[in-house]
Structure 1
Amino acid sequence: MRIGYARASTVRQSLNTQIDSLKAAGVTRIFHEKISTRAKQRPELDKAATLARDMRASGVAVTLVVHEHKRLGRGIDLAALAEQLRADDIGLEFRTGELHGSHDPSGVVFTVLAALSGMEREYIRDRTLEGHESARARGKNIGGAAVTDPAMLSMALHLRDQNLSLRDIAAQLVITKGKKKGQRPSPATVLRMLREHDETSARDHQP
């Protein structure tokens, strides 16, 4: 039996690509959810794992199929989850990405690759933060700060709640300061502004 799991980090991200990939792989039972990989509890993943264990206990060979390893987890968390699947005699398969293929979670190669996937994310994050700090130290603005302001952010959030596209949101905003005063921000600037707001909000709500 092949059980599928799909995950997106935010409610605005589509699961279509992942679900289509799983269906193409012959998966008929798919669990999916929109939740951060950092969440301590992922209900749909727990349901998928529970079904897999129950089916395996009844004597059925079971494989958990995921579009890409990042949808399941990274680094040590991914290795630990994979090890639990191995202990329950459940196979693991990724349809694409760095860990593409079927894996033996107890193997050294898988463990190393899983750890490296987590290290890569932390490396990119650290380098990005260092770059931002360096730029601020030189007096440069980050993430479109030269043209955005609280009023623009408030309006952008309101328009996003109405499911408008980035292009449509940008078309209704006006820059009120700096050299571009009176012009419209670009969709990329709107994206950065909203992303920074979401990241800040997520950090503020962390326990």
Structure 2
Amino acid sequence: MTLVVREHKRLGRGNKLSMLAEELKAGDVGLEFLTGELKGSHDPSGIVFTVLAAMSGTEREYIRDRTLEGHESARKRGKTIGGAGVTDEDMLSMALYLRDQEMSLRDIAKRLVVTTGTKRGQHPSPATVMRMLREHDEKAATVASV
């Protein structure tokens, strides 16, 4: 029996890949990659698979580090990270009022409506409401401590 995978990146990374190799070896299952640098059949217990597991874990860390560096560089240039904001002062005021009425984040989100952008007319997510209220509270605490 052979496990056929489009590309080695689809199998997993690091420890998960090592565990998969052990399971494949125990089940006497071969491995075949359809595309990529490792195209062809491989023995899951062989050196290629071991190196692959090590490289994939390193690659993930490299991608993460480069992404974080890119975000930091963009922030230094004044760029914002993430999608366009959907909240405004009116929405914040209403959310604060509804929170004072002891409504849940989900219920608050259902009562608010986005007024600008591509999400116009839709409700913000509870996570967006939580983030908006948290940012407001953090700013208020900073102003109060000064």
Please, what TM-score do these two structures have when normalized by structure 2? 0.53
* Consecutive unaligned residues in structure 1, runs of 5 or more: 1-61, 159-196, 198-207
Equivalent residue runs for 1:27-176 within 5 Å:
62-143=1-82, 148-150=84-86, 151=114, 152=117, 154-155=119-120
Partner of 1:182: none
The change in CA–CA distance for 1:157 and 1:65 in structure 2 (over 3 A counts) is farther
In the alignment, what sits opposite 2:132?
A: none
Distance 1:128 1:111, change over 3 A: same
Question: 1:74: Cα distance to partner?
Answer: 2.1
Q: Quick check: 106-115 or 83-92, which moved more?
A: 106-115
Give the conservation status (yes or no) of the 8 Å contact 1:92–1:102: yes
Letter in 2 for 1:103: H
Identity value in percent:
69
Code of the residue aligned with 1:110 in structure 2: it is F
8 Å contact kept, 1:82–1:92: no
In the TM superposition, residue 132 of structure 1 has moved relative to its aligned partner by 0.6
Change (3 A) 1:109 1:72: closer
> Aligned partners of 1:157, 1:67: CA distance in 2, in Å?
39
Once the two structures are TM-superposed, the CA of residue 67 in structure 1 deviates from its matched residue by: 1.2
Which amino acid letter does the alignment assign opposite residue 154 of structure 1?
Answer: K
Higher helix share: 2
TM-aligned CA deviation for residue 138 of structure 1: 4.2
Distance change (3 Å), C-alpha of 1:128 and 1:77: same
Which runs of 5 or more residues in structure 2 are unaligned? 87-113, 129-146
Sort the Cα spacing of 1:114 and 1:140 in 2 relative to 1 into closer, same or farther, 3 A: same
How far the C-alpha of 1:134 sits from its partner, in A, is 3.1
Rounded Cα–Cα distance in structure 1 between residues aligned with 2:38 and 2:28 = 19
Stretch deviating more after TM superposition (96-105 or 132-141): 132-141
Equivalent pairs counted in the alignment come to 95
Per-residue displacement from partner, 1:26-74 (whole Å, max 9, x unpaired)? xxxxxxxxxxxxxxxxxxxxxxxxxxxxxxxxxxxx1111111222212
